[in-house]
Structure 1
Amino acid sequence: MILREESYREIHFPTDENSLDTAKYRLKYEELFYFNLLIEHKKKEREKIKRVLWPLPESETANKVRKNLPFQLTEDQNSALQKIKELTNKEQPIAVLLQGDVGSGKTLVALLTALRYIDNQIQVCMVAPTEILARQHYQTILSFLGNMPFLGIELLVGKEPKKNRYEKLYRIKKGDTLFVIGTHSVFQEDVYFSELGLVIIDEQHKFGVDQRETLRSKGKNPDILAMTATPIPRTLCLTLYGDLDLLTIKSKPKGRMPIQTKWFQEDRREGIYKSIRKYVSSGRQCYIVYPLVEESEKVDLKSCIEAYEYLKHEIFPDFEVGLVHGKMEVEEKDRVMREFSKNRIQILVSTTVIEVGIDVPNSTVMVIEHADRFGISQLHQLRGRVGRGDQESFCILMTDSKVTEDAKVRLEAMVNFSDGFALSEIDLQLRGPGELMGVRQSGLPDFKIADLRKDSNLIELTREDATLFGNPGDLEKEEIRGRFSEGRLLFSN
């Protein structure tokens, strides 16, 4: 391999094309090698720390929950649970990223894992990015627990009476509450745990590194289970989360039918409304999603509120039409979602607040207005709100007759692919890693020459080489230390 100085010279004043390629390869290799060496170093550092309790005993409550399920766990769910069990039998704290496509059953895996801690009087905190999602998790977990005597679970969210919050915080600090499900409110300074042993972070990419560290610091080296329903391309996984054990759930519960995705333009709108009427008349429900809450003079898009009024009074006056968006009061949002889940509202007009976590199996139609304004990941998440039962479901992508070439690629990808992992690779090529993950939140390393879209093979190679040949002492060199901040890894010790 040529020297670094020679590589720089060839980059600026190339002798020929082959020499230029060799120089680029050498500099990319070095950059990726030292980054992967940092990841290996962090893994070794974590191995020096001991967990609160190990090995972690089995959970009678978890076994009862499994026996009472009206369905069998998928092979991927069982595999993930087995791997987590193996990790918790070691004395080092675990750090796991569980990624699964929409509707793959991550919440149940998280619950069955959490119960092993709770049965041993160790606290668990599960945090979600939105109040709707936190409440959905709370209700879902209560439904899984059924009539079992389980009193130590609390929902901790932003807006609630001071007295209620004080009483909850007291029970958490005392250790009477063993399972806390909340939003950003759990990061606040007045939240103390008696013995926090497991932190579950849902949709973890929506939290900053500092927030994740704040929650982690509320316990003594707690185990970490990070989850995402946004499939992440393999190269990004290796780069962003290489210090974690990566577990993937791809298979869906048995009995679910594939979602039929269609792309239609304005001239098909009347037919779409007729189809909605047909399905709703048969007892099914429908989402209609808009990108904006209010009409904007700058962007010529229909607003969610304006559309709601039109659909309710002009198109579907004989059905119950509901509205939910981010600017509504929490109580009103909760009321509308409860009514929708009970089929008292048949058509729900919404913004993207329903993007993650909403589970209404009777909803079989999703119409996404101005679909060309959404990214692939968001379209796939929205599509995942339907197809959660045993009925055939449809996702309709509505656009004007003219869309950009990039939008055309996105829409065609949605029509042709149902696998979120395949879509994530397409999204990576279209948008690049920074825009895909959100640089500020995700902590993407600032590579100077390596390209996560093009250098996947080199990422794999340098990862292996750093494991086999890396010298952690090299990280003390100022030139290496300055390249990558340790805080850019998901969890620092």
Structure 2
Amino acid sequence: QNISTLVKNLSVKTLLLTGKDKGKIRLEKNLQIKNGEAQIIIGTHALIQDDVSFKSIGLVVVDEQHRFGVFQRMAFTYKGIKPSILVMSATPIPRTLSLAAYGDMDESRITEKPLGRFPITTISINLSKENKLINRLKEKLKTNEKVYWICPLIEESEELDLKAATIRYEYLNKIFKNKVLLIHGRLKEKEKEEVMEKFQKEDYKILVATTVIEVGIDIKEATSIIIEHAERFGLSQLHQLRGRVGRNDKQS
């Protein structure tokens, strides 16, 4: 969506290929890629499958590089004649850091935010102040802003004293009637898409989630993210989760 918007006034055709494209639709898209009809191709791991061939691949951009294996990233080099490869990540894996440090990979850093963005304010509070947090949320939601609430578990565990996403969803739904949605990894892909579409386009204010929203989510109205039991997450996960907010001209 973002790239299509950027090039809408240019004579450039974009195409999206994912694993959900099957049968005739996939064959048609593969043909457009092969004959060069599509100049900018955006996709998932589907692009490195054997049935996908490019007419003349010049540049490969691998976003969220840490989620691809070495051989998966190298697969693109065999689909063209030495294409330029740009890998991007806010949390690069140790191997990538080593390659950059020892000169085997050129490095560029984006150190500035887009125009009009503010630095994200990060606060740590004790769970005993939950009621105070809920009251703060009530005030924030009056301004038409949206909130992520992240939990480390999907369901309650007898072994771990942690609040599960399902329990948190039920609790918040009693307070914020018909304003709360739940998403986690056990939902089918179509169900996840439906939840995210409702959260983005309808009058839902809070999305209770697991780390399933860690990457690939861009909702401008979301200005706050609450990460419950933050000690259960790694630094990379926390950094990626925090990146879900701060995407508009309001303070996050």
Q: Is the 8 A contact 2:100 2:107 kept in 1?
A: no
SS at match of 1:261: coil
Distance 1:209 1:241, change over 3 A: farther
Q: Is the 8 A contact 1:201 1:226 kept in 2?
A: yes
Distance 1:239 1:229, change over 3 A: closer
Give me the whole-angstrom Cα distance separating, in 1, the residues matched to 2:10 and 2:180. 36
Give me the whole-angstrom Cα distance separating, in 1, the residues matched to 2:218 and 2:85. 25
Gaps of 5+ in 1: 1-138, 394-493
Q: Is the 8 A contact 1:305 1:323 kept in 2?
A: yes
SS at match of 2:123: strand
Gaps of 5+ in 2: none
How far apart are residue 237 of structure 1 and its match? 4.3
Give me the whole-angstrom Cα distance separating, in 2, the residues matched to 1:345 and 1:145. 31
How far apart are residue 147 of structure 1 and its match? 4.9
Give me the whole-angstrom Cα distance separating, in 1, the residues matched to 2:15 and 2:211. 26
Residue of structure 2 in register with 1:144 after alignment: 6
Residue of structure 2 in register with 1:386 after alignment: 245
Name the amino acid aligned to 2:141. Answer: V
Q: Deviations over 1:448-474 (max 9, x none)?
A: xxxxxxxxxxxxxxxxxxxxxxxxxxx
Residue of structure 2 in register with 1:187 after alignment: 48
Name the amino acid aligned to 2:6. Answer: F
Residue of structure 2 in register with 1:358 after alignment: 217
Name the amino acid aligned to 1:387. Answer: G
Does 2:139 match 1:285? no
Give me the whole-angstrom Cα distance separating, in 1, the residues matched to 2:39 and 2:4. 14
Does 2:16 match 1:155? yes
Q: Is the 8 A contact 1:285 1:343 kept in 2?
A: no
Residue of structure 2 in register with 1:250 after alignment: 111
How far apart are residue 329 of structure 1 and its match? 2.0
> Percent identity over the alignment?
48
Alignment of 1:87-236 (within 5 A): 139-150=1-12, 152-230=13-91, 236=97
Q: Deviations over 1:239-294 (max 9, x none)?
A: 67731110111011232222221111121001111111111122111000112223
Distance 1:343 1:143, change over 3 A: farther
Give me the whole-angstrom Cα distance separating, in 2, the residues matched to 1:269 and 1:322. 19
How far apart are residue 222 of structure 1 and its match? 0.9
Distance 1:330 1:232, change over 3 A: closer
Residue of structure 1 in register with 2:180 after alignment: 321
Runs ≥4 in structure 1, deviation > 6 angstroms? none
SS at match of 2:223: strand
Which is richer in helix?
1
Name the amino acid aligned to 1:140. Answer: N
- Number of equivalent positions: 251
How far apart are residue 339 of structure 1 and its match? 2.5
The structure having more radius of gyration, on CA atoms, is 1
